[in-house]
Copies of this chain bind each other. A is one copy, B any other.
């Protein structure tokens, strides 16, 4: 009999297939757009619960806020539902809730409803948190208008979250300063969405990283993506870890970054707006949409060669969000 595997939940191709076949969901957006309302949900099961740069509470608020922003909405209201393992420390729970409150305040959203379930020891991994969210559409952004010659921008260094979690979970000690980039992006993205610029696509490259995000962008479309390694912002320690572990930063999750596609004409102005925010100070144009390689993501390497960045079958790092 067919069984669910960890790979089905990794955010790669197998997750996409599960969603299409079992859940019959097709539009590929993380938030639903209902008239002028955006609605989204995310469950978080990260291990470890506390990590450099944040914890599962901050992650769950940021993740849901960012999913609303990605369809062009101003995030407004969140729910939070906890599944807690019996025996879990009350103090840790309080810390997680405090982080959620703080991140919600920072993101200008209100947590308005919740739920609490407790399960036996060994039926959970400390705490799982679901956050669902409602936002008001400022300008609907669904990727449908993306076309040849549009420009691809990333809002900062890629791969930080995935490598930070791996470094900590596996006690690799490969970097002392690397931390997760987990953050809500309200202050980075609302000005961009409110601008008159022609912004066609915004997506947070979480599970499966930049490679998954760009592959989803051109999945079943008549265009492809070309990106240039030279221009992709990457931390030095992430690059080093990447080489040691044999996992490219493009496949590693981010929790405080977005990929943006704008018209060619508006790309520089979009970049300018992003750079006004501390969260976007490393933003960069990394490539373009092209008709030359439909459905494919082509990476131009530093050595002036080209190769295809395939859609990952499964993330190499499970339980990172």
Q: What residues of chain A have their CB less than 8 Å away from a CB belonging to chain B?
A: 1-10, 15, 18-19, 22-25, 29-32, 34, 37, 39-45, 76-77, 79-91, 93-94, 97, 101, 112-120, 122-125, 128, 130, 132, 134, 318-319
Contacts and interface: CB of A to CB of B under 8 A. Distances in A.
Contact of A83 (B23, B90, B93, B128): B128
A41 B130 CA distance: 9
Which 8 pairs of residues, A with B, have the shortest CB-CB distance? Answer: A9-B118, A41-B79, A132-B132, A32-B112, A2-B90, A130-B130, A43-B81, A32-B113
A41 B4 contact: no
Nearest to A82: B43
Most buried by B among A23, A40, A77, A122: A23
A269 to B, nearest CB: 31
Given A19-B116, A128-B128, A45 B2 contact: no
B119 A125 contact: yes
Contact of A4 (B1, B6, B79, B86): B86
Nearest to A85: B4
Given A32-B77, A128-B128, 20 more contacts: A4-B86, A9-B117, A19-B114, A23-B80, A23-B97, A23-B116, A25-B114, A31-B113, A34-B112, A37-B134, A43-B81, A43-B82, A43-B117, A43-B130, A79-B132, A81-B132, A83-B83, A117-B128, A119-B125, A120-B125
A80 B83 CA distance: 15
Contacts of A80: 23, 41
A79 B9 contact: no
A175 to B, nearest CB: 26
A34 to B, nearest CB: 6
Contacts of A119: 6, 9, 45, 125, 319
Contacts of A90: 1-4, 22
Contacts of A122: 122
